Amino acid sequence: MKNLDTLTFDNRFARLGDAFSTEVLPEPIEQPRLVVASEAAMALLDLNPAEAQRPEFAELFAGHKLWEEAEPRAMVYSGHQFGGYTPRLGDGRGLLLGEVVNQSGEHWDLHLKGAGMTPYSRMGDGRAVLRSSIREFLASEHLHALGIPSSRALCVTGSGTPVWREKQESAAMVMRLAQSHVRFGHFEYFYYTRQHEHLKTLGEHVMACHFPHCLEQDEPWLALLREVIERTAAMIAHWQAYGFCHGVMNTDNMSILGITFDYGPYAFLDDFDANHICNHSDDTGRYSFSNQVPIAHWNLAALAQAMTPFASVDKLREALDLFLPLYQAHYLDLMRKRLGFTSAEDEDEALIQRLLQLMQAGKSTDYTLFFRRLGEQAPAEALKVVREDFVDLAGFDAWGQDYLARYALEGGEQSERQARMHAINPRYILRNYLAQQAIEAAEGGDYGPVRELHSVLSRPFDEQPDMQRYAERPPEWGKHLEISCSS
């Protein structure tokens, strides 16, 4: 294990030069104090968990102090935001402090969000507030625990520094970890500004650092796109299978690694509604739950466009055609497992779609609890329990008979079925009202609730007898919280 003084840095992105990022020092916040830390994320850096108790922990991860080897840089990129192209975005409140190499040889970006103004702040103050920092921390670590590809969060640091949004709030910082913070928008920036040599350098950097096998192919850029398509398809399949809504799927929020990235007004579905819009600012529903699959495809096409100087348009289009079949295969595999199936049958897709249509008809079925309860008892008994949440009872009964017939093909003991289903169907999910309660306590100076919530969500599939309140259906007010991009 390492301590704060023995981390090893290798700042590969910084070495690309000033065309790719700008040197900026973080602006310290007043009296930094640790709100919550993730031991699992600390382990990625080989950090001893006890290091979080040191005063230097909050100071370093809030930018008050810097390691000698750190090279804080604000990255430049562009992106399509709600369908319109913005020529220059960049890290407006974030800084890539450097890349830490762990004992396994993995590089992890230390990316500090809320670090102050940069050349890319675009009239903003470069700050993040406590509520958004807590939300990003909780989501990053919870999605990882669910098995959904995600960036990670090491800690949240609070302060007494005031910032103004709709009202006065307190500034905070979240330390984000990822093996790369390169986005689709990085490629778009160099493509649309016709800096094709820099675009080539960026692509070669990404391939050398993250996809070295692509460099061995006859057409490396085409291989790179296929890799990103495969990873993005798997990520989106997980989102749809678990009811996760990202809220702002701009191309600058899409990771080249195919991980969930840049958390803003996200939400997990409570009662199932395929048309749910979690972002209060999304007036047209562009990023609604049901639109996440076509929008991911659209974003991949935007990335492919930026690759046209180095690959043929026809072959890039052929690669894009892989997305939907790949997504569908991943999604069906996940949903079969959620229903307790271990094999694949031709009628499975129709069975899944009928279930979702029945959920949609009533908008009264808790999406997370349905699957957990379906595995609690033998199938026939479990169907009687979950039936209560459906409006079309005749339709559900017909579906239930078909489910029993399908499950008869599986066989096996109920104990095996329950263990299998409980391993993929979480008991605990990050609901907006739970996050809001933890945020309100933290804003009052009590960090206990956010730490407890993080602990519970770090083991989402496990029975935690003393934490039953976190597994209950949300109150009605909790289903209608409005979350916007403001942070």
Catalytic positions: 252
Reference 105, options 207, 209, 31; nearest CA is 209
Q: State yes or no: 125 annotated in a binding site.
A: yes
Question: Cα separation of 303 and 320, whole Å?
Answer: 10
Write the burial class of residue 137 (CB in 10 Å: 0-12 exposed, 13-18 middle, 19+ buried): buried
Q: State yes or no: 340 annotated in a binding site.
A: no
- Would you give the end-to-end CA distance of the chain in angstroms? 35
Q: State yes or no: 336 annotated in a binding site.
A: no
Q: How many C-beta atoms surround the C-beta of residue 275 within 10 A? A: 11
Q: For residue 80, which phi and psi values (nearest 5 degrees)?
A: -90, 120
Give helix 130-146 / helix 432-443 axis angle, nearest 10°: 140
SS3 52: helix
Task: Please identify which residue in the block is written with the tokens 């949240």.
Answer: 156
Q: Which residues pair with 8 in a beta bridge?
A: 101
Q: State yes or no: 273 annotated in a binding site.
A: no
CB 365 within 8 A of CB 390: yes
Q: State yes or no: 478 annotated in a binding site.
A: no
Q: State yes or no: 92 annotated in a binding site.
A: yes
CB 143 within 8 A of CB 244: yes
CA gyration radius, the chain: 23
Task: Please identify which residue in the block is written with the tokens 């595999």.
Answer: 333
Question: Cα separation of 272 and 391, whole Å?
Answer: 13
DSSP tally for the chain: helices H, then strands E: 17, 13
Q: State yes or no: 176 annotated in a binding site.
A: yes
Q: State yes or no: 384 annotated in a binding site.
A: no
Binding positions are: 90, 92-93, 113, 125-126, 176, 183, 253, 262
Binding positions for Mg(2+) are: 253, 262
Binding positions for ATP are: 90, 92-93, 113, 125-126, 176, 183, 262
